[in-house]
Homo-oligomer: A and B are copies of this chain.
Amino acid sequence: MKRGGFRTSLRDKIIHVSLHLFEEHGYHGVTVKQIVETVGTSKGGFYHHFTSKDELLFVIHDTFITYALEKATIANETYTSPTLRLQAIIKSFIKVFDLYKAHISVFYQESNYLKGNYQVSIKCKRKQFKQIILNVIEEGQHTGEFRDNISIEISTMAILGMVNWTYKWYKKTGDKSIDEIGDIFVDIVLRAILSNESVNNNAYQKFIIQ
């Protein structure tokens, strides 16, 4: 049976199991022996599908960041105004948490253990993601939708921080859904960076309350 076949392959099982083990105990807190025992396979099975434990860590990183980047790009291309774009990006990104919570946890906690080309590849995609937000804010300042008396760079990092940090506390069983959280984040961000003119227009109400 080839990779991507109609039955879950051992490869996928290993990723799935490792993900949750890494999330709980950290990359270094989990041994390959533990992984194969939990999966119900052997060292041979593991190393048939992965060249190293490092590669497994990379795959986990890559699946998440690739997905997030794709969603952000789509959100960016779907809308034309910076306000709508920023809103869509934030909401699409926060939604990723429902799907990839475990990936993200591992991503932010273990990314500095990635080695060589693995690290280079991931860092590049991270940069692209940040750049998307940065561009939107810059554009919004030019069109006058966003106030321009605030640093683009710092605003971007503030937004990224606010959203990224969610991995530390978000739980599916919490009393706020990821959609509600996303709405609040959009509210906070837009209130903070929209220009006074935009706020006075219906623009603000329209986008926030939707």
Interface residues of A (CB under 8 A from B): 25-29, 109, 112-113, 150-151, 153-155, 157-166, 168-169, 176, 180-181, 184-185, 187-189, 191-193
Contact = CB atoms under 8 A, between A and B. Distances in A.
A161 to B, nearest CB: 3
A160 B161 CA distance: 9
A113 B109 CA distance: 11
Number of copies: 2
Contact of A165 (B27, B151, B165): B165
A150 B28 contact: no
A157 B153 contact: no
Contacts of A165: 157, 160-162, 164-165
A21 to B, nearest CB: 12
Nearest to A168: B161
The 7 closest A-B pairs by CB, nearest first: A161-B165, A28-B28, A188-B192, A161-B162, A162-B162, A191-B192, A192-B192
A193 B184 contact: no
Given A154-B181, A157-B169, A165-B165, 13 more contacts: A26-B113, A29-B112, A109-B109, A150-B184, A150-B188, A151-B180, A154-B184, A158-B162, A161-B163, A161-B168, A162-B162, A187-B192, A188-B192
